[in-house]
A and B are shown apart, each in its own frame.
Chain A
Amino acid sequence: MDRIKAVQIFIFVIAIMIVARLFYWQFIAKVQGNFESIISEDNLPAARGEIYDSQDFPLVTNQEAFLIYGKPHDLKQSPKDIAQKIAPYLISEKYATASAGLSEDEQKAKDAEIKTKEEELTNRLATKTLFWVQLSRKITKDAKEKIQAMNIAGLGFEADQKRFYPESSMAAQLLGFVGSDKFGVDTGYYGLEGYWDRRLRGKSGRLGQETDPFGFPILVGKYRPIEPQKGASLYLTLDRSIQFMVERSLKQAVEKYGARDGTVIVADPKTGGILSMATYPTYNPAVWQEFDEKFYKNPAVADTFEPGSIFKIVVMSTALDVSVVEPITRCDVCSGPRQIGGYEISTWNKKYYPNSTMTEIIQHSDNVGMTFVSEKLGIDKFYDYIKKFGFGQRTDIDLQEESTGYVREKKDWKVIDLATASFGQGIAVTPIQMVEAVLIIANKGKLLTLHLVDKIVDGQKEEKVKAQGERQVISPKTAAQMTEMMVNAVENGEARAFAPKGYRIAGKTGTAQIPVAGHYDPNKTIASFVGFAPADDPRFVMMVRFSEPSSSPFGSETAAPTFFGIAKELFNYYGIAPKR
């Protein structure tokens, strides 16, 4: 064997060995043991999508927040000293106001909370069995900077985000809030945050890469990061100027009339978009933990109540649509109270109007007249139309906690149920269902699905939310006849003194007693007003509802003036001038 051949064989063997070794490292060997310490696998949380109003102003956005942690073994000061220094910055945000602005009671409560926090922090920092302890989550940037300035060894921060509400508690019950699920992941609850949670939350990413001893990424190493994807942003039909004005009017009205609570819904009858949805009392979603759970649900979609007289417009529309009555049909049983199924049916004010026309029955909100109408209809038609109007089922508005209301099964209806339901007793509706029913009349008999989200923007993709379930419920002729009856009710009814002059407004008052343990409480009522304006070319549909107003139990003296007050501001806002 000559020397060349020997060199050949040597080179060949070395090459094979190198290839084999490379193959081993590339495909067979797994990184184990100490190598793990140089692979950083950070979870990258995705930013949650924002929520904007119809003019692209953020109602909910994100702000920087931090998690503060302690390393008990690295502390240079005693846990108690550290706790005393940092506790004032880790208490509830509601005490963020300068001490001078707090009342004496609030100051006492703040001091007590600081004390409790100090004890809690001391205990945590003194836990020597742990290497790392979480002290607080989602603290503000301001609090973080103040703590950081103290240069306390053994404390550290991790960046995070939290929700910020530029308009503070505006539309709180509609927006919902963000809390944590059992794994500590941000999750939306109630309202839009709850309903659209999966779209808003985005997809968290992962940073898996090898790092050198200095912590810099090794680009030739294993490098497979997954970028987090920000959640989609919602663009609403809600107009914050209208919402602001409505909320202010509602708060004043609830206080003025001594009501337990109040709800106002304003919708666009041409699109079904909600322009405003206000409730009072409400809560602050930034510090939702501080409020009782009963405030979380949005009464505008979750509360059910007996509608009372505002339901008469649904019954009358039905009777007109199936042609059992005309606006000029006269009632031949309206001269006094009636006995039906062993019960006496009377009018709310004990006044009777013999031979009233259908228009006058609506104007006087005549219960006896409505029993005449329901008798003409019969149970089958009555029940079918209630369903067609959407009662007893969800409107499918994009809010989490919507309830269905209650309409008893058709087979369970008796003559007395037909009579009482004709003036809104014995069935339960939600405020949003009533708005939908009025919208049908305002929109020439056509039902549009009420909705809040107009479009969803996900990165570069823009998705228009399509209206669903559009259908004709009553004929345009019926809708026009009903509109005229409602205009007459405003102009000649109990609330005529409050109506703004020069505008044709279609509306109806309602006063429903609250059923308590099998009977109606005479002192507790739900006062309401529904309507739309301008009657000939409606720009808005509105409902105002108060629970248990104490200054007056009647809708005509509480809900109606509030409705007209808000309507006046809407006329100004839209630039609608009076015509007469």
Chain B
Amino acid sequence: MLPVSDFKIKKKDNFNLIGKIKVKVLVIIGLLVSASFFAQLVFANNLATDGEKLAKIHEEIKKLEAENTTLKVEIAQESSLNTLSEKAQKLGFAKPSQVITP
């Protein structure tokens, strides 16, 4: 039969081992949280400046779309039959009096 003191010492050793593992786990978790927090900070920082870039891009898209609309309107106006027939008349074009077949 083992003496009582030996039993106590063994029990104390086991307790320390579990404690050490728990501390390691907590440290790892702490590190992970810190890393995530840092990563979040980096991304948020990048995204904060991207907001301005995005606003500029949106502005540019709007400007281009508006220009596109204006150009479309100008093309349609210039190639409308009202405009073309006026130009044709000024240039002395005449209507065909006979059917031209290939």
Contacts and interface: CB of A to CB of B under 8 A. Distances in A.
B70 A64 contact: yes
Interface stretch (A117-125, A158-166, A419-427): A158-166
A161 B62 CA distance: 13
B5 interface: no
Interface of A is mostly: mixed
A347 interface: no
A215 B81 contact: no
Given A8-B22, A215-B55, A218-B51, A164 B73 contact: yes
A572 B23 CA distance: 96
Interface string A200-229: 000000000000101111111000000000
Given A63-B70, A64-B66, A168 B82 contact: yes
Interface stretch (A54-62, A101-109, A508-516, A520-528): A54-62
A104 B81 CA distance: 30
Nearest to A166: B76
B76 A61 contact: yes
B59 to A, nearest CB: 11
B17 to A, nearest CB: 14
Contact of A244 (B51, B62, B81): B81
Interface in B64-100: 66, 69-70, 72-73, 76-77, 79-82, 85, 95-96, 98-100
B52 to A, nearest CB: 5
A320 B75 CA distance: 54
A496 B41 CA distance: 90
Q: Give chain B's interface residue range (CB within 8 Å of chain A).
A: 35 or more
A576 interface: yes
Q: Give chain A's interface residue range (CB within 8 Å of chain B).
A: 35 or more
Nearest to B102: A575
A15 B52 CA distance: 34
A146 interface: no
A463 B98 CA distance: 39
A557 B47 CA distance: 78
Nearest to B30: A11
Nearest to A167: B80
Interface string A8-22: 100110010000000
Which of B51, B62, B77, B100 is the most central at the interface, judged by chain A CB atoms within 10 Å of its CB? B51
Given A8-B22, A8-B23, A218-B51, A159 B66 contact: yes
Interface string B38-54: 00000110011011101
B82 A4 contact: no
A64 B55 contact: no
Given A11-B30, A216-B51, A572 B72 contact: no
B35 interface: no
A240 interface: yes
Nearest to A241: B81
Contacts of B76: 57-58, 61, 164, 166
B100 A575 contact: yes
8 contacts: A8-B23, A64-B69, A168-B82, A170-B81, A212-B51, A216-B55, A219-B47, A219-B51
* For the complex of A and B, 3 pairs with smallest distance between CB atoms: A166-B76, A216-B51, A219-B47
Given A8-B22, A64-B66, A219-B48, 6 more contacts: A159-B66, A220-B43, A220-B48, A571-B99, A572-B95, A575-B101
